[in-house]
């Protein structure tokens, strides 16, 4: 079996993306929907303009109230104008939200699809390096974080920036001297925001990393809960979970502390600016330089200046989460598959002739799993590999379908180097039946068809009869529409194996691979499977890995492996007559059977 060291992509961060690099890539997903931003941008400009007009109207009302006599008609018209502004504001806000949410969902749909599509194209060796829970986090949690960025943060960032600039401009137009006094707090705002950005980015990266680690832990241990309970390891696993959960708690506290310091400091600066306005503006109002209505407008504009800054802090908080999620998503998207089509690779129709020429292969470094392996399998021939665990049998099967690429030698199918054959074409014509059969949630028929709607119900029934799977399917309450629970845990090992046979046959492969297909199967089911195997040998080339030598006595050729090398080759009778390693393995199994009788 593959001996791969698990590598945590979150603990080894070989790449760092700048904010600008992440923004450019995230904005690229918006290109098909840029037309939607034209009305949104127009709505934002109108909304900001209306919000800046409001304080001026109230200031004018206050000034009118200070006149003698009071201009009631003027106050009424201003009030009606203010009410109209509120109506327009509500309508434009609704329209903007609907447009943004629709666009945001489309963008996230595209990102999620791209991630899943890319993950599907990664090599098997890369799945061995990354816990499944972390890949799930990329597709679900990280993309959900980006949704807020597209539907809320980017637009509000523009709106708040426009409001801050607009409020400052209006204050300068109303009274430049008072505006300059208030602007004394701006350098402190800029410095505080830069410091906050530095610490909050680091905190968010740590939080997302720990969330991913916990997801990976949960995915693995929930799948293995039966084993945990069998060995009574619940307290131990609870302790491990608490340790990881505590780390997440610690980083969440760090993140919240950063924000908890920044926001009160911004509020303090707001109070300082307000006091400056009241002190200097009040003296100017008493002196008659400005009206009291203007002083009120200044205090309102100070609020409009600092309130967006407070919102920007929250949006920046969300942006850091989005940038961190974006960074992690782009790490996945930028991970190139280790096994890819060679330039010029072509699809071919396989006949099934297989040849290994002086093949050397290692999963890691020079720890060779296969050492100068050479053999040939004629089209339509059935060949079995036997040997001790770790001798390289399963590795040979993985190399035939290019789950991995060899380091030395050559693998040919029908005389063509497999690296010159399109991977998709190769794998479509090779049917694999593994010891650990995986069934998807759905129905019996959906697990046989696997989404290929060109396969008819009649072909499925014929395939199940061919491999004897119909015998138990016909006894099911819903027969072919019987629900299949997660991983097929409502079926026995033998039933799952027969379904995998039917699934393989119905896709009409030219080469069939069986890896320990009869392991851990009861005697009655083994007889059904053995009968199915005998029939399947007539379909095309068949490669078998088996520990039960009784299941391979009638194959055309048996290849005996030991420590990555071929030590014997021949049919069952020839190898027994040679009295070599195969004879010893057979004698051990035969003697064991005698002891059990």
Instruction: Summarize pLDDT for 29-77 with one digit per residue, the tens.
Output: 888 887 877 888 888 888 888 888 877 777 777 767 766 677 777 778 8
Instruction: Summarize pLDDT for 353-370 with one digit per residue, the tens.
Output: 999 999 999 988 888 999
| Ordered DSSP codes for 242-293 | HHHHHHHHHHHHHHHHHHHHHHHHHHHHHHHHHHHHHHHHHHHHHTTSS-HH
The answer to whether 500 and 523 have CB atoms below 8 angstroms apart is no
How confident is residue 23, by pLDDT bands cut at 50, 70 and 90? confident
Averaged pLDDT for residues 275-301:
80
Strand ranges inside 404-458, DSSP E: 408-413, 416-417, 430-433, 442-443
pLDDT of residue 354: 92
pLDDT of residue 565: 92
Query: Which CATH architecture best describes the domain 347-429+546-597?
Result: 3-Layer(aba) Sandwich (3.40)
Distance CA 373, CA 361 (A): 9
Tell me the backbone φ, ψ of residue 412, rounded to 5 degrees: -120, 140
Averaged pLDDT for residues 508-515:
87
Instruction: Summarize pLDDT for 518-544 with one digit per residue, the tens.
Output: 665 666 666 777 777 777 777 788 898
What CATH topology corresponds to 19-333? ABC transporter transmembrane region fold (1.20.1560)
What is this structure's pTM? 0.66
Instruction: Summarize pLDDT for 215-259 with one digit per residue, the tens.
Output: 778 877 877 787 787 777 788 888 888 988 888 888 888 777 877
Q: Is the dihedral of CA 209, 212, 214, 220 positive or negative?
A: negative
Q: Is the dihedral of CA 350, 353, 357, 363 positive or negative?
A: positive
Tell me the backbone φ, ψ of residue 377, rounded to 5 degrees: -130, 120
Domains of the chain: which residue ranges?
19-333, 347-429+546-597
The answer to whether 152 and 100 have CB atoms below 8 angstroms apart is yes
pLDDT of residue 383: 92
Of 106-115, 152-161, 452-461, the poorest mean pLDDT is in 152-161
Instruction: Summarize pLDDT for 418-474 with one digit per residue, the tens.
Output: 999 998 888 888 888 877 788 888 888 888 888 888 888 898 898 888 888 888 888
The answer to whether 187 and 282 have CB atoms below 8 angstroms apart is no
Residue 548 in tokens: 């039960």
How confident is residue 1, by pLDDT bands cut at 50, 70 and 90? very low
pLDDT surpassing 60 at residue 595: no
Using only the alpha carbons of the chain, give its radius of gyration. Answer: 35
pLDDT surpassing 60 at residue 592: no
For a pLDDT cut of 70, what percent of the chain falls above it?
Answer: 92
pLDDT of residue 7: 38
pLDDT of residue 359: 93
pLDDT of residue 357: 93
pLDDT of residue 569: 92
Q: What angle do CA 522, 524, 527 make, to 5 degrees?
A: 105
């Amino acid at each position: 079996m593959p001996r791969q060291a698990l590598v945590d992509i979150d603990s080894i961060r070989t790449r760092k993306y700048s904010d600008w690099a992440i923004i450019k890539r995230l904005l690229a997903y918006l290109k098909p929907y840029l037309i939607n931003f034209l009305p949104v941008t127009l709505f934002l400009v109108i909304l900001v303009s209306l919000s800046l007009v409001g304080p001026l109207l109230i200031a004018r009302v206050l000034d009118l109230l200070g006149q003698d006599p009071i201009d009631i008609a003027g106050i009424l018209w201003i009030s009606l104008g203010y009410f109209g502004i509120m109506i327009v504001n509500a309508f434009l806000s609704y329209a903007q939200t609907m447009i943004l949410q629709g666009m945001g969902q489309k963008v996230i749909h595209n990102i999620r699809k791209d991630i899943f599509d890319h993950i599907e194209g990664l090599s098997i060796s890369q799945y061995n390096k990354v816990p499944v829970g972390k890949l799930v986090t990329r597709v679900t949690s990280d993309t959900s974080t980006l949704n807020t960025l597209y539907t809320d943060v980017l637009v509000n960032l523009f709106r708040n920036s426009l409001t801050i600039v607009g409020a400052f401009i209006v204050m300068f137009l109303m009274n430049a001297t008072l505006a300059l006094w208030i602007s004394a707090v701006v350098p402190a705002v800029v410095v505080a925001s830069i410091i906050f950005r530095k610490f909050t980015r680091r905190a968010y990266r740590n939080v997302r990393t720990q969330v991913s680690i916990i997801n990976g832990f949960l995915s693995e241990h929930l799948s293995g809960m039966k084993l945990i309970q069998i060995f009574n390891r619940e307290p131990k696993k609870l302790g491990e979970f608490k340790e990881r959960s505590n780390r997440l708690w610690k980083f969440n506290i760090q993140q919240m502390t950063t924000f908890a310091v920044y926001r009160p400091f911004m509020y303090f600066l707001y109070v300082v600016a307000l006091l400056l306005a009241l002190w200097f503006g009040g003296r100017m109002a008493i002196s008659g330089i400005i009206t009291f209505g203007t002083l009120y407008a200044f205090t309102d504009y100070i609020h409009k200046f600092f309130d967006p800054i407070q919102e920007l802090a929250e949006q920046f908080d969300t942006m850091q989460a989005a940038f961190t999620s974006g960074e992690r998503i782009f790490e996945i998207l930028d991970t190139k598959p280790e096994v890819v089509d060679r330039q010029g690779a072509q699809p071919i129709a396989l006949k099934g002739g297989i040849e290994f020429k002086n093949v050397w292969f290692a999963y890691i470094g020079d720890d060779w799993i296969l050492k100068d392996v050479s053999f040939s399998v004629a089209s339509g021939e059935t060949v079995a590999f036997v040997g001790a665990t770790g001798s390289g049998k399963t590795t040979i099967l993985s190399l035939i379908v290019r789950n991995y690429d060899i380091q030395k030698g050559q693998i040919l199918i029908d005389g063509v180097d497999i690296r010159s054959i399109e991977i998709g074409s190769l794998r479509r014509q090779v049917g694999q039946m593994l010891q650990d059969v995986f069934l998807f949630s759905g129905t019996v028929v959906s697990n046989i068809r696997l989404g290929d709607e060109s396969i008819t119900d009649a072909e499925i029934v014929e395939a199940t009869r061919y491999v004897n799977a119909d015998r138990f399917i016909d006894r099911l309450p819903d027969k072919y529409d019987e629900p299949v629970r997660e991983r097929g845990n409502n079926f026995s090992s033998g039933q799952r194996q027969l379904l995998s046979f039917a699934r393989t046959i119905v896709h009409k492969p030219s080469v069939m691979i069986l890896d320990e297909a009869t392991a851990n199967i009861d005697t009655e089911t083994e007889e059904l499977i053995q009968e199915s195997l005998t029939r399947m040998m007539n379909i095309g080339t068949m490669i078998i890995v088996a520990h039960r030598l009784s299941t391979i006595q009638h194959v055309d050729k048996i290849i005996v492996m030991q420590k990555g090398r071929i030590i014997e080759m021949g049919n069952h009778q020839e190898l027994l007559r040679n009295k070599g390693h195969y004879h010893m393995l057979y004698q051990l199994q035969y003697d064991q059977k005698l002891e059990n009788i």
